[in-house]
Amino acid sequence: MTSISSVSAAFTGRDRGNRLYGPVPDVTEQSGYAEEHPKRVGFFTDTSVCIGCKACEVACKEWNTLPMDDSHGVKDALGLSGMSYDNTGQLGANSWRHVAFIEQSRAVDLPMPTFGRPGDDRHDHGTSVAGSGDLNSTATAQASVLNAEALTEFDPQTGQTGADKQVRWLMSSDVCKHCTHAGCLDVCPTGALFRTEFGTVVVQGDICNGCGYCVAACPYGVIDQRKDDGRVFKCTMCYDRLTDGLMPACATACPTQSIQFGDLDELQERADARLATLKAQGVETARLYGRDEDDGVGGDGAFFLLLDEPEVYGLPPDPIVTTRDLPAMWRAAGKAALMMVGVAATAILGSRRGAR
């Protein structure tokens, strides 16, 4: 049985099948499913094409009938975050998709490679258009009303303001990572959290007793407790839809294919190809997050293509599943317990018998 070898790994630290840490070729099979299980599925969220429309958030809320909450995860209060277009704030018990929004700027005179579009080109276009016969009168007419000069200074395609500053918007739809080594699943004492036949991680609502251990164990801060309910909730990757052969609601709703759903190995190939394309186009800050199976959680079932450091999006830069260190912790606890018995025995034997 799988549970017996998992016992030895947590206690002894001899982790032969990488049960606690490290890459696992077939996590579904390791979880005890028969060999003919479905392939592991996942999300590839390509943030370079995300437009921040939040259709994924809405589709998720509707399909899973999630209650309202404000930008700090407090239920039933409509609240604006006051910081950006992001009024969801974070993932939580009632927000299983969260679109992050970051506005960034940079000085263009920095000695950095730009996106390969010298600003002079546009200026040349502008003069040639303005100087071409009939259009000239139209252009001056526009300038009097709209201040076309100021308008042409800002190019929404590149975010170039013309002066000294470049602006870009980062948008990213965050979700439960469905880790290969899921901390929440490891520490759940009731078995409410389990790995499905699709390799995803799901909470069984009728088992969860709201102990809250998973909330503290998730290195990404995904799962949370619904205060008025007591139990914990998180993305199920639409387990109900998967069993009926449908795509998860968010991926179905995404209008730009920023959220791609499919077999994990296929998505990984697609992501590698996309990264290579972006790199070739000069997007030097593109990187994959959660793709590496040698990372601290054995790779994510839901991974991302980011355009900046993970922490810019509110993601931990180097998450490690807490149970990697569990064998060391059990050893320390065992030693400490023996120490207690030793101290108590010393105290008893080192004391003279009391007068009775």
Partner 1 sequence: MTGGITSPGAGWRQADRGPATQRTGRKRRRRGGGRGRGEVPMVDDVEFTSYYGRQIVKTPVWKSPDVPLYLFLGGAAGSSAILGALADVTGRQALTRTARLTAGGGSILSVVFLIHDLGRPERFLHMLRVLKVTSPLSVGTYILAPFSAAAGATAAVELLGWFPRLKRFGGAVAGVFGGPLATYTGVLLANTAVPSWHEFHTKLPFVFGGSAMAAGGGICMALTPLGESEPARKMAILGAGIELAALRGIEGSDSFLAEPYHEGRPGQFMRAARACTAGGLGLAVLGGRRRWGAVASGALLAAGSLLTRFGVFEAGIASTKDPKYVVVPQRERMAAREAEARSVAR
Of 21-80, which residues contact partner 1 (CB under 8 A)? none
Give me the least distance between CB of 190 and partner 1, in Å please: 4
Give me the least distance between CB of 279 and partner 1, in Å please: 13
Give me the least distance between CB of 121 and partner 1, in Å please: 21
Nearer to partner 1, 17 or 334 (CB): 334
Interaction between residue 207 and partner 1 (CB under 8 A):
yes
Structure tokens at 141: 């007419």
Phi-psi category of residue 65: left, alpha or beta, with phi > 0 → left and psi -120 to 50 → alpha: left
Q: Which of these ranges, 32-40, 120-128, 133-141, 342-350, lies near partner 1 under the rule CB under 8 A?
A: 342-350
Using CB under 8 A, which of 66, 99, 215, 271 touches partner 1? 215
Interaction between residue 335 and partner 1 (CB under 8 A):
yes
Give me the least distance between CB of 48 and partner 1, in Å please: 13
The H or E element containing residue 6 is helix 2-12
Per-residue interface string for the shown chain with partner 1, residues 159-188, x marking contact by CB under 8 A: --------xx--------------x--xxx
Within 10 A of 163 (CB to CB), how many other CB atoms are there?
Answer: 11
Interaction between residue 189 and partner 1 (CB under 8 A):
yes
Enumerate residues 247-306 that contact partner 1 by CB under 8 A. Answer: 284-285
Q: Which of these ranges, 95-103, 120-128, 130-138, 269-277, lies near partner 1 under the rule CB under 8 A?
A: 95-103
DSSP string, 60-113: HHHHTTPPPB-TTS-BT-----SSSS--S-S--SS-SEEEEEEEEEEETTSSS-
Count of residues touching partner 1 (by CB under 8 A): 98
Q: Could you tell me whether strands 41-46 and 302-306 are parallel, antiparallel, or unpaired per DSSP bridges?
A: parallel
Rounded-to-integer distance, Cα 232 and Cα 203, Å: 8
Using CB under 8 A, which of 113, 116, 133, 245 touches partner 1? 113
Phi, psi of 24 (to 5 degrees): -130, 125
Terminal Cα-to-Cα distance of the chain (whole angstroms): 56
